[in-house]
Structure formats: structure tokens, C-alpha cells
Chain A
Amino acid sequence: MTPQTRALLALRLAALAVMGLGGIILAQTPQIGQSAGFTVVGPRVFPIIVGIGCLGWGGLFFLRLTAMPDHALIADVAAEEQRTDWPTTLLLLGLLIAYAAALWPLGYVIATTLFFPLSSRVLGSTRLRRDTLAGFLIGLVVYLVFTRLLGVRLPAGMLSGLW
């Protein structure tokens, strides 16, 4: 498969995904309860409009890609496709999810001290010690400012006995 055909495939899948979203909205609409009493326009009208809109514009996008392809767009997407570093992207996404999951059990400061240098490493930084220190400082300052000054709760986690 050439990059161009792969880009075209990806764009068509995106168009189908938008149409799929429209389909899901329309399928869910009957489950919205009609309000009791007299209303001219009920709560189902706008979901139907938005559902049809997604189907329609997604369909138009698909047609446009098939009938008169936008060559500039396809060339751009193809070039991006070739440059794309999927392992880095997925690794960063995985790290983010792990960070969110670790916030409560480990506490804000420790989770941030771990996440910041690791994510910087994934994004190309090579100075682990500096990044770890920066992550720790950001975590500590944010934690203290939020919990002491702004009155916003953040998880203390493993360090809960310390402060």
C-alpha cells in the first residue's frame, strides 16, 4: 500500500466514524424520555438534528474523498503518516493513563515526580536527573499552593502522614 492509499483509507475511516457517531446518536434518541405535559419542541428534537448532521456531513466528507479527492489534504496526511512515530504516541498516552490512575494511591506529589521525567524522556529529553527534580518541585509547589492557599483538595496518597 502506498502512503497515498493509506492516507485515503485513514480519511475515509474518519468520515465513517463521524457517520457512525450520527448513527449512535439517532439510535439513542428514542431512549430519551418525553417530558410530561405540553411542550411544542421536546428534548428529542436537537439530538435528531445533530445526529442527522453528523450522518450528513460525514457522508459528504466520504463522497468528497471518493468523487473529487482533495489532493492537497491527502498529500499532507500521507506525509504525516510517514513521519508518524506511533510507539512514542502510544507510550505517551499509556503514561498519561497510568499517571491518572496513580494520582489517588500514590498521591499528587509522588505521581507527578514520576510522570514528569518519564513523559519528558518519551518526548526526547535526555537529562533524567534534572527532569526528576523539576517534576518533584512542580508536584510539591502545586500541592502546597492548591491545598494550603486555594483550598482545593488533592490526594496526599502515601505521604498523607507527612502533612
Chain B
Amino acid sequence: MEVFNYLLGGFANALTPQYLLLAAIGVTIGTAVGVLPGIGPALTVALLLPLTYSFDPAGALIMFAGIYYGGMYGGSTTSILLNTPGESASVATTFEGFAMAKSGRAGPALATAAIGSFVAGTLSTMLLTFVAPLLARVALLFQPADYFALTVLAFVSVTALVGSSLIRGMISLFIGLFFGLIGIDVLSGQARLTFGVVELLDGIDVVVVAVGLFAVGEALYVASQLRHSKEEILDVRSSVWMNREEWRRSWPAWLRGALIGFPLGALPAGGAEIPTFLSYTLEKRLSKHKDEWGRGAIEGVAGPEAANNAAFSGVLVPLLTLGLPTSATAAILLAAFQIYNLQPGPLLFQKSPDLVWTLIASLYIGNVMLLILNLPLIRMWVKILTIPRPLLYSGILVFGTLGVYSMANSFVDVLLMYAIGVIGFFMRRFQLPVGPAILGLILLPLAEAQFRRALAISQGDLSVFVTRPLSLGLLLAALAALVLPYLPALAARLTGKRTSAGRLVFGKGDED
């Protein structure tokens, strides 16, 4: 019952004009960057971080959360009308969504995506409301060794499950860890890997890395492939609504999508990408209209779109209760918490209950706002798709440069960001996922601090990581995540069958 009281208190705060305005700004920006290809929630939150230093933390976090799940709504529009996912969580939507739009059914596709996002978003926020406080209580039992094991699990599962190659994922992770090491070591006060550059003593800011890898890397990549891209935007001719048959086929897919998205979002496996593909596969298998698949089956839009919104609430569970980000955007949200001297984790619910519950209440409100933004006002978003690509990317570069430059008016920071952009360009070229690098950068301080703390407690005895059942379990789970993608190939070899079964691929892992 106390959950209800807390939630009511949260609503009382979240419904104040200031927070309502920030939620509205957040979901509007989120929808816009979700619609625009080449810019996603991770980059946007990173860009806005320096501007919100003076904000009150609850307000800033309400806005950032709005950007994150607003991006999930907006991404579907681009997938359906342009056949280009607006962000990585909408890749699965392109298959059936674009097929529907091509056959003149863009309206119902957009409607099932928006309403499904709302249904799943609200349902999963309810799950979050009840699961998070329970998990926060369990998380109080965590000791440094367990926390270290948890970060290892996050590193391994995000790297192994997302992206087509373990080796390339690991390379990306270690590049991120390298960036994380640069600067003064908090525990000993020693400068590390600064190469004598004074500006590096403070470490490399997450904004510099995120803008470099996402914005500059992407713009350079687009410039390099310029001569060979063309795209068509389909019109929304029909009304954005569904008929009875489409409702009947959509709602089971929404519910299944929500039930897949929430738990998988909560697992440390890279956020929304995997659940959308799982939902797509499941709907295809269960469908009674198999002949329609590939030509525009509405379940193929309803399921994945519900799943990616539910996954967002799932991602918040480990983020709020354990301080563990499971996707690049969540990692940047963690950085936002840290700016306000808030450490997400079990104590957050005890120390700042107002903030947590105001944030959770704002999710319910934001979902309603998004439904309005994405059903009656959908045509407005379709318009911003017509911004010419050269102007869009020039704009991204201008705002990226602005975001980094405005932190300290420092030319060196901007040059560093461009240099990281060149690395991002080559990572795209050689198909190295960018997500693990961001996660490595942000989680390194936590992993290292907990590792050193655990060994200080055990007086240097490394067995502390395998003698505690919790820590051992988490490390075994990490091992399982490492092996899992190779299971089909292994099974084929053991049974002596020669199949083409290679490594399982769960997603591309280029969240932006």
C-alpha cells in the first residue's frame, strides 16, 4: 500500500506546471529526434547535459526520460514511412511497417504503433512501479564484490548479445574502457594516461565521447557514402486510425510485446533492440495470417513497437535500483544522475523518494502526452522528415559542436571530440558497435571502485568474487551470455549435423 501513497505523492509533484512543461518539452524533443534519422535519444540527452547543470534534478530527469521514451515513439514513424529506422529500437518495425505504408496502409500502421506504444508504455510503467521498490530492497544486500560482478555481467552481455561479432564488440568495449581510464584516479589521486595534456586531467567528459562517436562519426560516414544514397518518403494518405479487424489483431500483439519488452529491458542486454526482434519473430510464428507477412502484417508493427516502449521501463529498473545502465542511452542517463550528485542504487529510493516517485509518475503523464503528439499531430512529424539531409547533418554538427564548446569554451575539447568522431567513423566502417564503448566509458569508474573496494575488504583475496553466491551467480550469468550465441552452432556440431548455423545475432547494436 505504501507504493500507492508514494505514487500519489509523485503525481502531486509531477502535475505541477513546471514539471508538466518539462515533460512536454522532453517528449516533444524525444519524438523529433526519434523521427529524424542520424540523431537519437543518447546523443540528444548528452547534448543537453551541459545546459541543465542549473536545473533542479527532478525536472532535468523528467525531461531526459521523456526524450528517451519519446524517441521510441518517434522512431516508428521513420521506420514506417521511410524504411530507415529513426533509431535502433525501430529496426524490426521497418519490415512490416514499410510494407504496410507501401500498400497505402500507412495510417493504420502509425496508429497501431502509437496506441501500442501507449498501452505497453503504461503497462510496463505499472510493472516498474511495483517491481522497482522490491528490487531496491534486495539490492541493499549487494556488496562490492557483487557490484563488480554485476558490472562484468553488463559489459559481457551488452557486448556478446548485441552486434554481429564478439571480437568487434569487445574491441569497442575496451576502447570505451580506455577513455574511462584517462584522468585523475579518484581513489589514489594519481594522473593516468593523460600523456602530459593538462586538459585531460579531469578525464574525458561523456558528452565529448557521445557527441564524437554518434554525431561526428555518423556525419562523416554519411559524407563518405554520399554519392550512393537515395530515399523516398511515403505519404500518409489514409486516416491515422484502425478498423475493427486491425484493433482485434493489434491488441494481443501489444500485450505480448509489453510482456517481452519489460523483462528483457531489465536484463543487462542492451536495451530495446533484442526484445523488438524477439517480438517480431514471435508474432510471425503465432500469426494466423502468414501469407500477409512481408506484404504488411499489422502484428509485425504492433508487437515490436509495444516491446520497445516496454523495454524502456524495463531499462529503468536496474538503472534506478542498482545504478546499472543496460544501454548507451541509460548510461548517459546515469551520467545525468551523477551530475546532480545522485547515485542511483538501492539507497536512492530511501534518500530521494520524492525524486524517484515524481519521475515514475511523470512517465504515466508523458505516455498520455505522447499519444496525443503521435496520433492527431502525426502529420506535423511527417513534415520534419522532409528536411533535406545536407541541412539535417550540418545542423547535427552545429549542435554537436555547440554542446561540447559551451561546456568550457574550449577549443581543445572540440578538437578531441572531432578526433573521437574520426574513431567513430572507422568504427562504423568496420562494423564495430558504438554502444559498448559508451557503456565501458561510463561504467569503468564504478567497476574499478567496486573491484578495489572488494579486494580491500578481502585483503587481496581474489576468491571473494566466487565465494559469495550472488557474485558467483552473476559471473556465471556473464559466462552464459558469452556462450549463448554460439549454442546453435555447437549443438549442430555435437549432433554431427552439418548446418549453416552460425553465431546467433540478436541486434546490430548501433544505438544512437
Seen from chain A, the residues whose Cβ lies within 8 Å of a Cβ on chain B are 10-11, 14, 18, 21-22, 25, 28, 32-35, 39-43, 45-47, 50, 53-54, 57-58, 60-61, 64, 70, 73, 76-77, 80, 83-86, 88-89, 92-93, 96-97, 99-101, 103-104, 112, 115-116, 119-125, 131, 134-135, 138, 142, 146, 150-155
Contacts and interface: CB of A to CB of B under 8 A. Distances in A.
Closest 8 CB pairs of A and B: A35-B188, A123-B390, A125-B390, A100-B414, A43-B185, A119-B394, A120-B390, A89-B224
B405 A84 contact: no
Nearest to A96: B418
B409 A54 contact: no
Interface stretch (B118-126, B166-174, B351-359, B471-479): B166-174
A37 to B, nearest CB: 9
B359 to A, nearest CB: 23
Contacts of B177: 50, 53
A47 B167 contact: no
A44 B415 CA distance: 28
Interface stretch (B107-115, B189-197, B254-262, B292-300): B189-197
Interface in B404-425: 405-406, 409, 411, 414-415, 418, 421-422, 425
Main secondary structure on chain B at its contact with chain A?
A: helix
Nearest to A81: B429
Nearest to B220: A89
A116 B401 CA distance: 12
Contacts of B192: 32, 43, 47
Interface string B379-405: 000000000111101110110011001
Contacts, number: 188
B319 to A, nearest CB: 23
Interface stretch (B241-249, B263-271, B447-455, B483-491): B447-455
Interface stretch (B4-12, B88-96, B225-233, B280-288): B225-233
Interface residues of B, number: 65
B430 A88 contact: no
Contacts of A146: 402, 406
B482 interface: no
Contact of A115 (B188, B398, B425, B444): B398
Contact of A41 (B193, B402, B425, B455): B455
A77 B51 contact: no
Main secondary structure on chain A at its contact with chain B?
A: helix
A46 B189 CA distance: 15
A100 B430 CA distance: 28
Contacts of A73: 165, 430-431
Contacts of B401: 96, 99-100, 103
B504 interface: no
B150 interface: no
B141 interface: no
Given A42-B188, A138-B395, A155-B409, A57 B455 contact: no
B429 A80 contact: yes
Given A92-B223, A97-B415, A142-B402, 15 more contacts: A25-B193, A34-B190, A39-B187, A40-B452, A40-B459, A46-B448, A54-B174, A85-B223, A89-B224, A100-B405, A100-B418, A112-B398, A138-B395, A151-B54, A152-B51
Nearest to B193: A28
Contacts of B391: 120, 125, 131, 134
Contacts of A97: 415, 418
Contacts of B191: 32-33
A121 B430 CA distance: 27
Contacts of A39: 187-188, 452, 456
Contacts of B448: 46
A154 B460 CA distance: 50
Give the interface centre of B224, B227, B451 by most chain A CB atoms within 10 Å. B224
B208 interface: no
Contacts of B195: 28
Contacts of B167: 57, 60-61, 64
A41 B418 contact: no
Given A73-B431, A150-B51, A155-B409, A124 B190 contact: no
B251 interface: no
A97 B167 CA distance: 33
Nearest to B54: A151
Given A92-B219, A96-B216, A134-B391, A116 B398 contact: yes
A119 B459 CA distance: 57
A65 to B, nearest CB: 10
Contacts of A84: 224-225
A21 B178 contact: yes
28 contacts: A11-B430, A18-B171, A32-B192, A33-B188, A41-B455, A46-B451, A50-B178, A50-B181, A76-B431, A80-B225, A84-B224, A84-B225, A85-B223, A85-B227, A88-B223, A89-B220, A89-B223, A89-B224, A93-B422, A96-B216, A119-B394, A125-B388, A125-B390, A131-B394, A138-B398, A146-B406, A152-B51, A154-B409
